[in-house]
Every structure is written in structure tokens, then in C-alpha cells.
Amino acid sequence: MTRTWLSIGLICSLAVISVLSGVWVNSRCGKMMNELEDILTLAEEDRTDEAVRAARQLEEEWEDFRRPASVIVNNSKLGELDRGYAGIEYALEAEHHELAQLITELIHMTQLLRDGETPGLYTVL
């Protein structure tokens, strides 16, 4: 019977951990997606300095998220996003003509990362 109770305990712990990690990824990714949209708006309004500051802060936030996230998310997924987040500040300072495309792509990829950790009919199947 000890084995059964241990198994029930383990299953419950795994369920709690997976729900908490899902909620954590969901909220962090949602926040970063909002910040990406804000940076894009600032850049379109030619408020480059504010956009650069926001991009730096976002990059720090991404770094803060990436390390613990690598425990639950495939590293190759995070690597692609890492390159994108690191390039925003440079693209803003250089007034890169593909900035909007870069940010839109990042929003999309972050959304995919978030959806991948949220159990739903399509993600489960």
C-alpha cells in the first residue's frame, strides 16, 4: 500500500508542478508579448529612446525567464527566441527597416511557446 500512496503522491505533485509551470510560462510570455507590442508602438511613433529603454528592459526580462524555462522547454525553441530578443535593441538603434517584421515574428514565436505549455485540444493531440 506504501507504493500506491507514494504513486498517488507523485502523480499529484507532477500535476501541481505542471499546472504551476504552465501558469508561469503563460503569464511571463503574455507580459513579454504586451511589452513587444508597446516597443513596436513606440518605434512607429518615432520615440526611439523610450523604445530602446523598453527593449533593454525586455531583454533582461527575457534572460530572467529563459534560464528557469530551459528546465521545462526544449532548448532549441528558446535559442531561436533568444536570438530575436537580443536583436531588438540593435535593430532600434540602427533604425532597421525590418524592425516591425522582427517584432511581429517574435510576438508570434512567443505566443507559440506559450501555447505549447498550455494544454488544449490541439496542443494535447
Question: Residue 118 phi/psi, 5° resolution?
Answer: -105, 115
Interaction of residue 112 with other proteins, rule CB under 8 A: no
Residues in region 17-36 near other proteins by CB under 8 A = 18
Distance of alpha carbon 119 from alpha carbon 94, whole angstroms = 40
Nearer Cβ to other proteins (53/66): 66
Region class of 17: left (phi > 0), else alpha (psi between -120 and 50), else beta: alpha
Per-residue CA distances from 88 to 6, 8, 33, 41, 117 (Å): 48, 46, 13, 14, 25
Among 8, 19, 20, 23, binds other proteins (CB under 8 A): 8
Minimum gap (Å) between residue 125 Cβ and other proteins: 16
Minimum gap (Å) between residue 70 Cβ and other proteins: 7
Which parts of this chain interact with other proteins (CB under 8 A)? 1, 3-4, 6-8, 10-11, 14, 18, 70-76
